[in-house]
């Protein structure tokens, strides 16, 4: 059987294939009122289409653990029961198609309070219903971005608790995988990197101090997440700043510790913590970072980044570079990518009865 369509088991959960959907923000939730941050008809259609297309695991967009943790006012959240109920409709449908539902728990940190990308993505002022972003240090992300308020130790404890509470709500909503977002220059990733973390207390300075917040969040989530269900962590393997930021060596060192703290898989991306850096993009350009983590730590990994062809994805798995592939933009272009790949590679995949005539 094609490696791409072999089941994959983490703890007691088996995912039917290795074609997984990466988290991609839709910026389509209501921003205010009783349904703020709740999934709506757009989100249902978006995720349902990829499930009927055969995707084995779907990770939601970055889902904020608090209102101020949103990237934009139109982000999804999971800080209240209304949001839980809205997610249940989606997780039930995904389960009916054999797709595993995963949620990415996130806090945007200093990159919070921005407009939707198609409206320019600029920071929102108070007169535009924006709010004060938080960060490990009072360093703005870029020119024109506000200086974030430095997170106090008391706020660190509060946010850690928000991640744990969000995980419990995610479980209630029907999710079977929780992923902690530590990538792309959002709050946890900001703490990891010396580029954005200039603190002088126990959460800054040395490598051990900069990873402290991340490990505390992992421990808090793992304490409430069932032992039989897997926990993922998304990492930016490099800031692409050489020694001035977080590096691939740091990622390998950190991955070994994440494994000790109960993380079951590392979702390996790159970048996002510094603007206008030069990134050598190309097909599979982030795969070597995932492969190195897997080879040097034994922690399972998922590879992401310009993976678009079935043969390309199959080769990544055959070479032992990753345990699964995460597709982003390609699944936006083609919700049935997994079904088409199965036809090309001779893999077995769930096809809804209503679509059997298309085989």
* In contact, 117 and 24? CB cutoff 8 Å: no
Taking residue 355's Cβ as centre, other Cβ atoms within 10 Å add up to 13
Residues 249-264: pLDDT tens digits?
Answer: 999 999 999 999 999 9
Q: How many domains does the chain have?
A: 1
Contact in structure between 184 and 71 (CB atoms under 8 Å): no
Catalytic residue chosen out of the listed positions 8, 47, 186, 203: 186
Mean pLDDT of 336-347: 96
Question: What are the beta bridge partners of residue 303?
Answer: 268, 325
Q: Give the mean model confidence (pLDDT) for residues 104-122.
A: 97
What pLDDT does residue 106 have?
98
Amino acid 357: pLDDT: 87
Per the annotation, the verdict on 186 as an active-site residue is yes
Mean pLDDT calculated for residue range 84-100: 98
CATH code for the domain of 243: 3.20.20.70
The pLDDT score that the predictor gives to residue 104 is 99
pLDDT of 212 over the 90 cut:
yes
Q: Are 184 and 178 in contact (CB under 8 A)?
A: no
Question: Which residue range forms the structural domain that includes residue 251?
Answer: 3-358
pLDDT at 242: 76
pLDDT band per the 50, 70, 90 thresholds, residue 57: very high
- Express as a percent the part of the chain with pLDDT over 70: 100
Q: What local confidence, expressed as pLDDT, does residue 1 receive?
A: 81
Is pLDDT at 359 greater than 90 in this prediction?
A: no
CA–CA distance, 229 with 178 (Å, rounded to integer)? 8
What average pLDDT score do residues 113-141 get?
A: 96
Interatomic CA distance for residues 249 and 311, integer angstroms: 29
The whole-number pLDDT of residue 5 equals 98
What confidence category does residue 268 fall into, taking pLDDT thresholds of 50, 70 and 90?
very high
Nearest to 72 by CA among 88, 61, 87, 59: 61
pLDDT digits (tens, 9 = 90+) for 221-247: 999 999 999 999 999 999 999 778 999
Give me the mean pLDDT over the 137-157 stretch.
97
Average pLDDT value for residue range 265-280:
96
Report the share of the chain in percent with pLDDT over 90: 97
Average pLDDT over residues 130-147: 97
When pLDDT is averaged across residues 296-301 and rounded to a whole number, the result is 98
């Amino acid at each position: 059987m094609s490696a791409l369509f072999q089941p994959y088991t983490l703890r007691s959960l088996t995912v039917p294939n290795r074609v997984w959907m990466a988290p991609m923000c839709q910026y389509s939730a209501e921003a205010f009122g009783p349904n703020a941050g709740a999934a709506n008809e757009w989100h249902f259609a978006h995720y349902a289409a990829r499930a009927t297309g055969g995707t084995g695991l779907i990770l939601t967009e970055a889902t904020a653990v608090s209102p101020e943790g949103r990237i934009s006012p139109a982000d999804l959240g999971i800080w209240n029961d209304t949001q839980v109920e809205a997610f249940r409709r989606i997780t039930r449908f995904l389960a009916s198609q054999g797709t595993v539902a995963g949620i990415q728990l996130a806090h945007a940190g200093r990159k919070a309070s921005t407009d939707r990308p198609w409206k320019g993505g600029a920071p929102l002022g108070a007169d535009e219903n924006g709010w004060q972003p938080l960060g490990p240090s009072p360093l703005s992300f870029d020119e024109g971005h506000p200086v974030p308020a430095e997170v106090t130790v008391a706020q660190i404890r509060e946010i850690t608790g928000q991640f744990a509470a969000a995980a419990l709500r995610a479980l209630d909503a029907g999710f079977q995988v929780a992923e902690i977002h530590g990538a792309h220059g959002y709050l946890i990733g900001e703490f990891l990197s010396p580029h954005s973390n200039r603190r002088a207390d126990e959460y800054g300075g040395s490598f051990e101090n900069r990873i402290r917040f991340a490990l505390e969040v992992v421990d808090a989530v793992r304490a409430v997440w069932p032992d039989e269900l897997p926990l993922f962590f998304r990492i930016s393997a490099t800031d692409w700043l050489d020694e001035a930021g977080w590096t691939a060596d740091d990622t390998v060192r950190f991955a070994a510790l994440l494994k000790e703290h109960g993380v079951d898989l590392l979702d390996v991306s790159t970048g996002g913590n510094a603007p206008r850096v030069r990134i050598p993009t190309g097909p599979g350009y982030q795969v070597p970072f995932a492969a190195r983590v897997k080879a040097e730590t034994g922690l399972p990994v998922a590879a992401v980044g310009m993976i678009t062809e079935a043969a390309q994805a199959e080769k990544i798995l055959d070479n032992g570079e990753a345990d699964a592939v995460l597709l982003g933009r390609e699944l936006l272009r083609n919700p049935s990518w997994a079904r088409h790949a199965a036809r090309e590679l001779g893999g077995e995949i769930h096809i809804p009865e209503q679509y059997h005539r298309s085989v």
